[in-house]
Each structure stands twice: as C-alpha cells, then as structure tokens.
Amino acid sequence: MAKLIYVTNVSLDGYIEDEHGRFDWTPPDDEYLAFITDLVRPIGTYLYGRRLYESMSLWETEPTLAEQSKLTADFADVWQTADKVAYSTTLDATSTARTRLERSFDPASVRAMKASATSDLTIGGAHLAAQAFQAGLIDECHLLIHPILTGGGKPGLPSGTRIGLELLSSRRFSSGVASLHYRIRT
C-alpha cells in the first residue's frame, strides 16, 4: 500500500501563512529546491486544497518559472509528471494536465487511492491535511520549518487532534530551514 505524506512549509510558530494570507517568507534557495525536488520525485499523485493547487499550478502554466535554472526546470518536470487531485467547491475547472477536480474530501476514496497506487502520494493544504489527519490517512509528515515567527495565521497542523509521531530524519539547510521527517505512530 502506498503512503500518504503531508509535506508543508511552516514558520517556527507553526503557521503555513501569516495572518494576511502571505507565505512570501518561504522562497526556496538552490539547496532547498534540490531537496524538495528529490523529496517529491518518487511521488505519483499530489492531493491539494484549492489555494495550494492554484499556487503550484504555476509550475505548469507559467513556463518562465522552469526557464530560470536547471533546478527549476527539474522541479517543474517532476511536478508536471505527477497526477494531481484538486479539492475545491469553487473551481470550475483545473488549469493543468493530469489533474482531476474533486468537490469534497472523501476518506474512502483516498484509502482506495492509497491501496491501488504504485507510488506514494502527498497531501498539501492545511485544511485538506487536517481532514486526512482526522481520518487517520496520513502515514508520514515532512515539516519544513522556516526561521521566522509570523505571530499568527493559518496553522500548518490540525488542532484538536492528538497523534504520536516518530522522528525518522532531520536536516538543517544553510538558510536556517530545518526539515523534520516523521512517521505517524499507530
């Protein structure tokens, strides 16, 4: 069975965006981008909330992103090669290839995806991930902690849900970002 992995950027105080909806404090440098590309290279399917899907879709709809460097071209290729599921009640259609639109998160459907997938899946978007955490679907977390305090905003992890974690690995980047990779304890 494939794993469902939550990958997210968070501030040191645990937010994925500040109270104004900005996440401009997460721009990747080359070291970080190479790490993220290698992290998601084996992923077969990305599950996204609407806002994250719209942000990430630029890797396909804005060719100038890929043209910036070999690293950005590699990431764009990896992103475009994977299947995507965008969860949204407001999108009329998706703007990228290999993308399916779902109106609501259905735990049974995600279980079936995990059971039939030949490679792992990631989930992104705090609200969507919270639903997957509460349904017991997430197997691992990659928290990419940025050296900033936002003082508030959208939490990267669900509240009201207690889950034991086992640290699998950690890494510090020259930018001060720390990667913490956890497995969910069952």
**pLDDT (average), residues 117-140:** 97
Residue 1: its pLDDT value, please? 93
Q: What is the mean pLDDT of residues 3-23?
A: 96
Residue % of the chain over a pLDDT of 90 = 95
Predicted local confidence at residue 164, as pLDDT: 96
Amino acid at 140: E
The answer to whether 141 touches 158, Cβ cutoff 8 Å, is no
Residue 27 confidence (pLDDT) above 90: no
Structure pTM?
0.96
Residues 31-80 pLDDT 10s? 999 999 999 999 999 999 999 999 999 999 999 999 999 999 999 999 99
Task: Give pLDDT tens digits for 14-23.
Answer: 999 999 999 8
How sure is the predictor about 26, in pLDDT bands with cuts at 50, 70 and 90?
A: confident
Confidence grade of residue 177 (pLDDT, cut at 50, 70, 90) = very high
The answer to whether residue 156 scores a pLDDT higher than 90 is: yes
What pLDDT is attached to residue 111?
98
Confidence of residue 186 (pLDDT cuts 50, 70, 90): confident
What is the overall mean pLDDT for the chain?
96
The structural domains of the chain, ordered by start, are 4-179 (3.40.430.10)
pLDDT at 85: 98
Residue type, 8: T
Helix/strand/coil (H/E/C) assignment for every residue in the chain: CCCEEEEEEEECCCEEECCCCCCCCCCCCHHHHHHHHHHHCCCCEEEEEHHHHHHHCHHHHCHHHHCCCHHHHHHHHHHHHCEEEEECCCCCCCCCCCEEEECCCCHHHHHHHHHHCCCCEEEECHHHHHHHHHCCCCCEEEEEEECCCCCCCEECCCCCCCCCEEEEEEEECCCCCEEEEEEECC
Angle between helices 30-40 and 70-81 (to 10 degrees): 20
Percent of residues, the chain, with pLDDT higher than 70: 100
